[in-house]
Amino acid sequence: MSEIVNAGIQLALIILVVLLVPCVWRVVVAHSAAERLQAVDLLTTLLVGIVVVLALVEGVAFVVDIGIALAAFSFIGTLAIARYLSDGRLF
Amino acid sequence: MNILFAIATGIMFGLGVYQLLRRDLIKASFGFYILFTAINLFLLAAGAFEGTVPAYVDAQNEVISGGTPSDPLVQALILTAIVISFGTYALLLSFIVLASRRFKTVDSDEIDDLIG
Amino acid sequence: MTVGELLGLAALFFGVAFCVIGVIGMVRLPDVYTRLHASGKVSTLGLWGILLGASLLMEGIAPRAIALAVFLILVQPIASHAIAAAARRSGVPMVLNFRDDMPTPEQLPTETEQV
Amino acid sequence: MEIALVNAVPFALAACAMPLSRWLTARALGSLMAGGMALLFVILVGYLPTVSAQGALEMLIAWVPSLNLNLTFYIDGLALIFALTVTGIGALVMLYAGYYFEDAAQAGRFLMLMMAFSGAMLGLVLAGNLLSLFIMWELTSIISFLLIGFKGKDKAARVGATMALIITGGGGLALLAGLMLVGAAAGSYEMAAILNSGDLLREHPAFLAIALLLMLGAFTKSAQFPFHFWLPNAMSAPTPASAFLHSATMVKAGVYLLLRFYPVLGDNDLWTGLLLTVGLLTMFIGAFWAIRQNDLKGCLAFSTVSWLGALVALIGLPNGYGLMAALVGIIAHAMYKGALFLIVGTVDHSTGTRNLDELSGLRAKMPGFAVATAVASLSMAGVPPLFGFVAKEVLLKAMDKAPSAGIVLFVVTAAAALTVTMALILFWDVFMGKYRVAVANHQPAKDVSDPHHPLGDDAYAAAPHHHDAPFPMLLAPAVLGVGSVLFSFLIDPVIKPLIQLTLGTPISLYLIPPQIDLAFQLSMSALAIGFVIFITRSWWRALNLPKLPTGPEVYRAVLGSIDAAGDLLLKTQNGKIRHYLIVMLIAVVLFVVFSNVANVVDWSRARIEIKSAADVLKIMLLLLSLGATWASIAFHKHILAALALGMAGYSIGGLFLLEPAPDVALVQFLVETLATVLIILILAKTSTREREKVIQQAQRGTPRHSNIRDVIIATVVGGIVTLFAVAAVVNRPSRQTVAEWHMENSLPKAGVNDVVAGIITDFRGMDTMIEITVFGLAAISVYTLLTRPPAGKVWRRLQQHTAMQVGEESSEVRADTTPRLSTPLTRFAATIVLPFSFLLAMAQLLYAGVGPGDGFTAGVVTGLGVALWFVAFGYDETKKRLPWLRSGRLIGAGLVLAFVNAAVPLFFGREFAAITIFKELTLPASLKLASTTFFEIGIFLAVLGGISAMMEAIAHPKEVESL
Amino acid sequence: MGRLTYILAVSALFGITWMLITARLTLESFGVGFLISALIILLVGTRDTATMQPARLPRQAISLILYTLKSFVDITVASFDVARRVLHPKLPLKPGIVAIPTQDAQQSETIAALSAHAITITPGQLAVDFDGAKTMYIHCLDIDSAQDSAQEQAKRLKALRAILGKD
Amino acid sequence: MINPLLLGTIFVPLLCAAFGLLIGRFRTLQHLLIFGGGVVAWVCSVLLLIANFESGVQIYRVGGWEPPFGIVLVADKLSSVFAVMATTVVAAGLLYALGCKDKCVTYPAFMPLFLCMGVGLNGALYTGDIFTLFVFIELMVISSVFLVAISDNRLGLEAAIKYLFISAMGTLFLLIAIGSIYATFGTLTIADIAQKLATGERPLLAEAAAVMLMCAFLLKSAVFPFHFWQPDFHTTAPTPVHSVLSSVVVKVGIYGLIRMITVMFTQEAATIENILVILGVIGIFFGSLGALRTYDAKRMLAYSTFGQIGFILVAIGWGTPAALVGALVYAVNHSFIKSALLMLTGVVSSRTYGKTATKREIGGVGKGMVLTSILYLLGGMALAGIPPLNGFISKVALVQGGIDAQGWLALGLAVAAGLITLQYMIGTWSLLFQQAPDEGVKAKPTGDAQYAPALLIGLCVLFGIYAAPLVEVVTRTVTDLGDPSLYIRAVLGG
Ligand code: NA
Ligand code: NA
C-alpha cells in the first residue's frame, strides 16, 4: 500500500473518530431517552465503520468479523432499550 | 502514550469506586461493572500493551503482518475475567430485582436489617 | 497507486462523507423522528461506502463486507423503526408536525422518560 | 502401667454408670462405685512402702510427643496424700450418693459425673506431665460446672455453674500459660525434670510471669480472695458433690499445685508476700461471712473458703515452715468438713430445708447425726483431742514464724475464733433446742414431666415431710467423724510417716503439746472468744453491716463492662454496605501507602508519544470511555446511565481492538451488548416507584460532606491504581514472558493460528472450563432466584397445569407477557436474526482457531438471538415457539460435554484435557477437527444455556416473593 | 415436500451467507454451509409450517434479485435525498405521520413486516408503528411524497408476494 | 510425582454437579449423586495426603503442558492438609443437606452449587497457578453467594448483596496483584514466580503486588478490617452451607497467606507477619466480644470464627516453625469444631417454627434433645480448648508456638480471649438446652438429621485423644514449608 493510501486511511479513521464526539454530546444533551437511544445507535454504527477501517490499518481482514458481530448485536441492544421505553415494563 | 493509558485506567477505577459508593444499588451495580472494566484495562496495561499486530500466526508459524504481536496470554486472562465478571454481574442484578421485591427498596442505606 | 486503490479511497471517502452527513443531520434536524431518517439511512450508505472501499483496498475483506452490508440493510431499518415506535409511545412529540394520522395510545406513560 | 489402670478405673466406672442405672437401683449403683473407690484406696495405700523405699515413681505414655504432651504419672508422697484423700472420701461420698438419690436414672447420671470427676482429680494429683496435669485440672472444672448446674432448670444453678466455670476456667487458662512457660523455661514438660531444674526456673527472665500465672490458677481454683465468691455460689450442686468437690478435693487442687511447685517456685519474697496476704485475707473473710449465712451449705462453703485461705497462707511461709501444717490441715479438713457437708445434705434430704432459721432440735429425730455433728463440729472448732485441734495447733505454731508474726497471729486467731462460733452454730442451732421444722417455703414437688432430660433436671428428692435417713447415709459422716477422733491417735503410726515421706524431712507432731506454748494459748483463747461470739449471736445477727462491693457484684460488673465493650464493637456492624466498603478501601490504601509503593514507578521510562492515527484514536477512545463513564455517574436516571455505560463499554472494545486484541474486542462488544440488554431488562423488572424514590433520595438526601468523602476516597484509590498501572507499563522492556512460548507453540502443538484461542482452549484450558462453569452456575442462580422452580414431583405436576397455579406461593402477579413493541417488523427481525446468529456462531465455533471468536462468543451470539426473541415475542410465545430452549439442560449438557471430552484422553493413557488433533481426517473447507472442537461445543452449549436462563428468568411472568 | 423445499431453499441462502462470513468462496465451503444451515433450521428453526413449491423457486429467485436491485437503487436515492435536505441551509422539511394500509388479504405478518422494511429504506419514509397487520403509520420527511403511498404499497406487496411464492 | 488423583478432587465432583443439573428433577437421585461426588473428593484428597508422605509433592499437568506454560495442579503437604480438612467438612455439609428440612435444599440448583463451592475450594487449594486461583475463588464466590441468597432466611438476600459487593473488592485486589506479578515476572505459575523471587532481585511492583495479594487473602478470610460481610453472610446461609462457609471457606485466605509468605514472598514475610499479628489480635477481641454479645446463636458462631481466625493469624504472624504448626493445627481442628457446632445449632433452629436462631426464639428449644445437647457441649468445650478434645491440642500447639516466638503480649491476649470463648459457648449451651423456653415459644417435633454433626464431633474427640498423627503431619508440613525449593523443584523440575 502506498503512502497516500495509508494517509487516506488514517484520515478516514480520524474523521470517523471525531464524528463520535457529536454522538456523545447528543447522548448527554437530549430531551428524551429516545433521542439518546438514537444517538447511541448512530455511535455504534460509526464504530462498525471504525472497525472496518481498523481492519485496513492493521492489515488483518478478519477484524471485519468483529464489525459483523458488533453490528448484528448492538441492534439487539437497541431493540431491547426501545422496547423498554415503549412498554415501561418489559415483562 | 503508555502513561496516558495507565492514567486512564486509574481514573476509570476512581470513577468506579465513586459509583460503587452510591446508595442507589443500581448505580452501585454500575460502579461494580465499571471497576471490572477498569481492571481489564489494567490487565491489558500489564501485559498486552506493546503489540502492533494481533497475536496470530500464519500457516508458516510466523507472526502475521510481521509486527510485534500483542501478548496473547494477557488477552486470554482478560477474556476469562470478562466472562466471570459478567456472570457475577448478572447475579448481582438479579439480587437487586429480588431486593426491590422483598425489601421494597433499592436503596442500600435502607437495606440494613443485618446489624450488630 | 493503482486504480483499485484510487477507487477504494474514493469509495472510502464517499462513505465517510455520508457518515459526516448523517452526524450533521443528527445535530441539525429538529426531532428524533426526522433525525432517524438521517442517521439510519445515511449511515447505511456511509457504511456501504466504507465497506466497498475496504474491499477494494485489501483482499479478504470483500466477502465479509458483503455479509455485513446485507445484514446492515436488513437490520438498520428495523432499529430505526423500533426507536421511532419507542419515541412515539413514550410520548416524544414531533417538533415539526404537518400531519398526524396516528391515534394517541390510550396509556401513555405519565413520565416522558423512564427512570 | 498399673497406675494408669488405677487412674482409668473411675473413668471406666463413669462410663458404665448410665447404662447400669437401667438394671441397678440407685443404692446398688452407689455401693458399686463406692466399692470401686475403696479398692483404689487400698491399692494406693499399697504404694506407700514402695514410694518410701524407692522415692518418686514415674510412668510415661506418649500422646502427642511433638507437643510435649504425654500422659505421665508421677507418684510421690504429696501425690499419695491427695490420692488417698480423693479415693477415701470418694468411696464414702459415692455410697452416700446412692441413698441420696432415689431415682436410679438420676443417680446414674450423677454418679457418672462424680466418677469422672474422681478420675480427673486422681489424674490431676498423679500427673507427671505439665499438660496432662492441666488437662485433668480443666476436666475437674468442667465436671464441677456440670455438677453445679445439675439442676439446670434452676436459674441460680445455671448462674452459679457458669460463674464457677468462668472463674476456674479463666484461672485454668492462666495456669496453662504458666505451665507452658515453665515447660519452655525448664526445657521439659515432665514433672521429674522440672522439680530438678529449680535454679533454671528461678533465673529465667519469665520467672515473675510464671509464678504469677501459676498462683492465679491456684487462687481461682482454691477460691482465694478475691476470687472466692464462686464457691458459695456453687452450692446449688447436689450435696454429695459439694462435699466431695467443693470441700474435700477439687478446691484443694490449687493448694496441691502450690505445694507441688513449692520446691521450684516457693520460698522467696514474692511467694511469701502474695500467698500470706491473700491467704490470710481469705481466711478472715471466709470465717467472717460464714457465720452470717442462713443457708447451712453457705456456712460450710464460707468456712471452707476460710480454711483454704489458711492453707495457702501456710504454704506461703518461708523456709517451708508451714508445709507440715498445711498437709495436716488438708487431712483434718477433709475429714470434718466432708462429714458436715454430708450431714447437711441429709438434713436437707430429710426435712426439705437447709435454712438455719427453719431448723431446730433435730437431735430428737436424728440422734445418730447429732452425735456425728458434735464430733465433726468439735474437730472443726479445734477442741482436743480431736484431729482438728492438732491441725490448729500446728497452724498457729507455724504462723508464729511468719514475717510480721504479730499481725498474722492476730488475724489467724480471729479467724479461728469465728470458726469456733461457726461450729457451735452448726451443732447447737440445728440439733439442740426444741424440735421444729418450718415448712413454709418448700420447693414444690419434683417436676417429673421430663424424665429423659440428661442434665437439666431437678435432682432433689425434696420431701415436704420429715422422713428418716437410712443408715448408710449416716455411715459416711460417721466414718469421717470417727476418723477425726481416730487420726489423733494414729499420728505416730500413720500421719507422721506419710507427711515425712512427703516433705522428706523428719517432723514433730503431737496430739498433746509437751508444754503450753503460745500456740496453745491462742488456740484456747480462740475457743473462748468463739464461744462468746456464739452466745451473743442474737445481737450481731440483727446488725446491719455497711455494704461493700461483694464478689458477685464485681464479677457482674466486670462481665458487664466486657459486655459493654462487645456492644460497642458491634455498633460498627451498622448494616450500611457503603460504610463497610469505605473502611475496606481506606485500609487497603493505608497498607499500600505504608509499603513504600511510591517507589514502584520508574518515571524516567514514562513517555507520551503519538505516532499514528491509531494513537489519536486511542486517546479519543480513552477520553470517550472516561467521558461516558463519567456520564453514567452524572445521569441520575438509570436508563441514561445504562446507555452511557454501554457507550463506555463499546469504547473500551474499540481500545482492545486497537491494542490490537481482536478476540478480546469481540468478546467485549458482545458482552457489552449483553450487559446493556440485561441492565435494561432488569430495570424493567424493578419497581419504578422504588427506583424513583432512591433517585430522589440520592439527589436530596445525600449530605455534601459524604459526597466529598466519596470523591476523596475515589481519587486516592484511583491514584493508587494509577501508580500500579504506570509501574506495570513502564516495567515491561526488561522482562520475558511465558507468552513467547505460547506464540511459538500454538500452531505446532495446538494447531491454531489464533494464539489466544490456543491458550484459552489448550494451554490454559482448565481456566476456561472453570470459567464456563462459573458462568453457567451464575445463570442457573439467576434463573432459580427469579423463578424459584420447585423440585421433583411438584415440578412435574406444575408442568401439567397452567403456570397460573404455581405452588403454594399465592402472592405472585402474573403479567400479560405480550410486549407492546411487538410489531410485525420487530417480530420479523427476531425470526431472521436467530438463525443468522446460529450461522455466525457455527462459523466462529468451527473456525475458532483461525479468527476471532470461539465457543464462548458463539454462545453469546446465539444467546443474544434468543434474547431478541424474548424482547420481541415475550415469554409465553417464545417458550411455545422455541421448544428446544431448555436452559438448565443446555448448561448441564454443555458442562458434561466439556468435562467428559477432557476426560477422554485419560482412557488412552494421556493427560486430562490433552489435545488430540485428527490430522489424518481431511475435512472440506479447511475445517480442522480436534478434541478442542468438542470442548468449544460444550462451551457453546453452556453459554447459550446460560444466557437463555438469564433471559428466561427475567422474562418470566411470575413475580414470586414468598419470603 | 413443501417443507423440505423450504428448508433446502433457505439453507441454500444461508449457505451463501456462510461462504461470505467465513470468507471462503468455494463450493466446498458452500456445501459445509448448506449442511450446517439445514441442521440449524431443523434443530433450532421454528416449527412454523412454512412451505415452498419447487416449481416456483426460479421465479422467486428472480423476483428476489430484482427486488434487491430495486431496493439498492431506492436506498441510494433515499440517502441522497435525505443528504440534500440535511445539508440545505433552510432544512426543507414537511414531516408528518401518515397512515397507510398494508392491504394484506392473507393477513400474513411476514409480508406486512417486509413491506414496512421496504418503506423504511425508501426515500424519506420510516415505519413508526402498526395497527395489527392491517395499517401502518409511517413518518415522512415530506408528507407530499406520501401522496401516492397506497399505489406504491400495492406494487411493493406484489413484489413481495412474488418473492415469497404466495402470489 | 504426577498424580491423577488431583483430578478426582476437582473434576469428578464437577462432573457430578453437571450431571446433577441434568437430573435436577429427580431429587433423591441428584442428592445422592452430589453426595457421592463429595465423598470421592474426600477419598482422593486423603489419598493425596498419604501419597505426599510417601513420595513427596504430587503434581498434575493439565493437558500435559509443561509448567510454567500450562496450568499445573500441585498437592504439597500444605495444600493436602487443607484439602483434606476442606473435603471432610464439605462432605459432612452435603451429608447434612441430605437430611435438611430447609425449603431451599429442594431447589434443583442447590446441591450442584453446593458441591461446586467445594470444588472451588479444592481448586483454590490445589492450583499451582495464580490466575487459576482467581478462577477457582470466583467459582466458590458465585456458588456461595447463590446459596446464601436462596436461603430460607429472608435476610440472606441482603447478606448476599453485601457480600457480592465486598467480594468484588477482593477480586479486584487479587486481579491487580496478578496483573502486577505478570507485568513483573512474566509468568503466572507460583513455582516460577517463587523461583524468580528467590533470586533476591526485587523488580518494581513485586512488593506492592504482595500487599495487594495480602489484602485479597485477608478479605477472603474476613480479617479485620475486611470482616464486615462475614457475620451477615454466614449467619443467613442455610445451615449446611453455613457449616462449610464458616469453617473451611474462610480458611482459603489463611492458606493463601501461608503459601504467599512461605513460598513466594519470603523476603517480605516479616513485614506481612507484623501486620498479621496486629490484625489477628484485633480480630480475636472483636470476634470474641462480638460472639459474646450478639443476638443470635448462629451469628455468635460466625463472630467466633472471626475471633478464631484471629488466633490463626497471630500464630502465622509469629513466624516461627512451632508457631506455624500451632496455626495449622488450630486451623484444621477449628474447621471440624465450628462446622459441627453450626450444624448442631442448625438442628436446634430447624425445630423452631421460624427456622431462626435468635436467642429470643431459640432459648430452650433444645430441651429434650439429649444427643444434640451432648454433642453441642462437646463441641463447645472443644472450641474453648478444653481437654481432651481437639481444641485443646490446638490451644497447646498455639501457645507453644507463641512461647517459641516470644510473642508475650499477643500470647496473653490470646489466653485471655480464650476465657470469653468459654463464656459464650457455655452460655449458649445453657440457653439452648437447659433453659425453659420463653412464653409462646414452641418446638417442632422433628428437625434436621444430625448424622453429620455427630460424625464431626466424633472427629473432634478422635483428634483430641489420638492427636499425635495430626500434629505429626502438620509438623512435617511445616518442615517442608521451610524449604520452598521442594515445591519449586517438584513443579518446574530440576
Ligand atoms: Na453496559
Ligand atoms: Na478464535
B59-71 pLDDT, tens digit each: 888 888 778 888 8
Min mean pLDDT across D339-348, D463-472, D910-919 is at D463-472
Q: What are phi and psi of F352, to 5 degrees?
A: -80, 155
Q: Which of F39, F16, F17 is nearest to F89 (CA)?
A: F39
Distance CA D737, CA B73 (A): 9
D770 found inside a domain? yes
Averaged over D740-762, what is the pLDDT? 92
pLDDT exceeds cutoff 90 at F209: no
For residue F255, the model assigns a pLDDT of: 96
State the distance from the centre of ligand 1 to the C-alpha of D678, rounded, in angstroms: 8
Give the chains touching F; criterion: ≥3 Cβ pairs < 8 Å: B, D
Indicate the SS3 state at residue F76.
Answer: coil
D653 touches chain A (CB under 8 A): yes
D219 found inside a domain? no
Residue F443: in which H helix or E strand, if any? none
C65 touches chain A (CB under 8 A): yes
Q: What is the DSSP letter of D850?
A: T
Contact F415 D454 (CB under 8 A): no
Asked if the bond preceding F388 is cis, omega within 30° of 0, the reply is: yes
A2 touches chain C (CB under 8 A): yes
Tens of pLDDT, residues F348-364: 999 988 788 888 888 88
Tens of pLDDT, residues C86-95: 998 888 888 8
Between B107 and B46, where is the model more confident? B107
For residue D487, the model assigns a pLDDT of: 79
* Grid cell in block for residue C107: 396509556
D683 found inside a domain? no
For residue D943, the model assigns a pLDDT of: 96
D687 found inside a domain? no
Q: Do chains D and B touch (3 or more CB pairs under 8 A)?
A: yes
pLDDT exceeds cutoff 80 at A64: yes
Tens of pLDDT, residues F61-81: 999 999 899 999 999 999 999
Interface mutation vs chain E, best among D820, D828, D846, most E CBs within 10 Å: D828
Contact D592 F212 (CB under 8 A): yes
DSSP D372-439: HHHHHHHHHHT-TTSHHHHHHHHHHHHHTTSTTHHHHHHHHHHHHHHHHHHHHIIIIIHHSSS-EE--
Q: Does domain B2-103 have CATH number 1.10.287.3510?
A: yes
Averaged over F199-211, what is the pLDDT? 80
Q: Pairing state of beta strands D57-64 and F58-61? A: unpaired
Paired strand residues for B57:
B63
Query: Would you tell me which residues 53-112 of chain B have a C-beta closer than 8 angstroms to some C-beta of chain A?
Result: 53-54, 56, 64-65
Domain ranges of chain A: 3-87
For residue D809, the model assigns a pLDDT of: 37
**What residues of B are in contact with residue D658 (Cβ under 8 Å)?**
none
For residue F307, the model assigns a pLDDT of: 92
Enclosing domain of residue D877? 746-963
Instruction: Give residues with Cβ within 8 angstroms of C82, minimum separation 6.
Output: A78, A79, A82, A83, D821, D825, D826
The single-letter code of the amino acid at D578 is: R
Contact C78 D836 (CB under 8 A): no
Between D736 and D741, where is the model more confident? D741
As residues whose CB is below 5 A from the ion ligand 2, the structure lists D 754, 757, 848, 854
Contact E113, E164 (CB under 8 A): no
- Using CA coordinates, name the residue in chain D closest to F437: D153
Tens of pLDDT, residues F114-168: 999 999 999 999 999 999 999 999 999 999 999 999 998 889 999 999 999 999 9
Query: Would you tell me which residues 42-81 of chain A have a C-beta closer than 8 angstroms to some C-beta of chain C?
Result: 42, 45-46, 48-49, 52-53, 55-56, 59, 61-62, 64-65, 67-68, 71-72, 75, 78-79, 81
Between B9 and C89, where is the model more confident? B9
In chain D, the number of structural domains is 2
Distance CA D320, CA D82 (A): 19
Where b means 16+ CB within 10 Å and e means fewer, D529-562 reads bbeebbeeeeeeeeeeeeeeeebeeebeeebeeb
- Using CA coordinates, name the residue in chain B closest to D570: B116
Contact D300, D344 (CB under 8 A): yes
pLDDT > 70 fraction of chain D, expressed in percent and rounded: 91
For residue D734, the model assigns a pLDDT of: 56
pLDDT > 90 fraction of chain F, expressed in percent and rounded: 69
Of the partner residues C30, C81, C101, the one whose CB lies closest to the CB of residue E97: C101
Using CA atoms, how far residue F27 sits from D78, D836, D856, D953, F90, in Å, is 66, 38, 30, 22, 19
Between D616 and F163, where is the model more confident? F163
Indicate the SS3 state at residue D806.
Answer: coil
Interface mutation vs chain A, best among B64, B70, B93, B94, most A CBs within 10 Å: B64
Q: How confident is the model at residue D81 (pLDDT cuts 50, 70, 90)?
A: confident
How many degrees, rounded to 5, is the angle at CA F41 between CA F39 and CA F47? Answer: 105
The number of beta carbons lying within 10 Å of the beta carbon of residue F483 is 11
Q: How confident is the model at residue D336 (pLDDT cuts 50, 70, 90)?
A: confident
- Using CA coordinates, name the residue in chain D closest to F182: D737
Give the HSE-up count for residue D757: Cα atoms under 13 Å, Cβ half-sphere. 31
For residue C115, the model assigns a pLDDT of: 47
Q: Which of D110, D77, D92 is nearest to D38 (CA)?
A: D92
**What residues of D are in contact with residue E22 (Cβ under 8 Å)?**
843, 847, 925
For residue D498, the model assigns a pLDDT of: 81
Rounded to the nearest angstrom, the minimum Cα separation between C3 and chain D is 25
pLDDT exceeds cutoff 90 at D243: no
Q: Do chains F and B touch (3 or more CB pairs under 8 A)?
A: yes
Residue F211: in which H helix or E strand, if any? helix F206-220
**What residues of F are in contact with residue B28 (Cβ under 8 Å)?**
165
Tens of pLDDT, residues C24-75: 999 999 899 999 998 887 778 899 999 999 999 998 899 999 999 988 988 8
Query: Would you tell me which residues 890-909 of chain D have a C-beta closer than 8 angstroms to some C-beta of chain F?
Result: 891-893, 895-896, 899-900, 902-903, 906
* Grid cell in block for residue D456: 437439666
Rounded to the nearest angstrom, the minimum Cα separation between D819 and chain F is 29
Of the partner residues C50, C68, C87, the one whose CB lies closest to the CB of residue A71: C68
Integer distance in angstroms from the first to the last C-alpha of chain E? 19
For residue F120, the model assigns a pLDDT of: 96
* Grid cell in block for residue D18: 448410665
Secondary structure (H, E, C), F312-364: HHHHHHHCCHHHHHHHHHHHHHHHHHHHHHHHHHHHHHCCECCCCCEHHHHCC
Asked if the bond preceding F240 is cis, omega within 30° of 0, the reply is: no
Q: Which of B91, C83, A91 is nearest to D686 (CA)?
A: A91
Contact D688 C114 (CB under 8 A): yes
Q: How confident is the model at residue D228 (pLDDT cuts 50, 70, 90)?
A: confident
Asked if the bond preceding D226 is cis, omega within 30° of 0, the reply is: yes
Asked if the bond preceding F387 is cis, omega within 30° of 0, the reply is: no
Between E108 and C20, where is the model more confident? C20
pTM here? Answer: 0.90
Q: Do chains C and D touch (3 or more CB pairs under 8 A)?
A: yes
Task: Domain A3-87: give its CATH code.
Answer: 1.10.287
Instruction: Give residues with Cβ within 8 angstroms of F109, minimum separation 6.
Output: D780, D781, D783, D784, F21, F24, F146, F150
State the distance from the centre of ligand 1 to the C-alpha of B19, rounded, in angstroms: 14
- Quick one: how far is CA D391 from the chain centroid? 44
Distance CA E87, CA C25 (A): 8
State the distance from the centre of ligand 2 to the C-alpha of D928, rounded, in angstroms: 13
pLDDT exceeds cutoff 80 at D547: no
How many degrees, rounded to 5, is the angle at CA F78 between CA F120 and CA F280? Answer: 85
Min mean pLDDT across C27-31, C33-37, D119-123, D319-323 is at D319-323
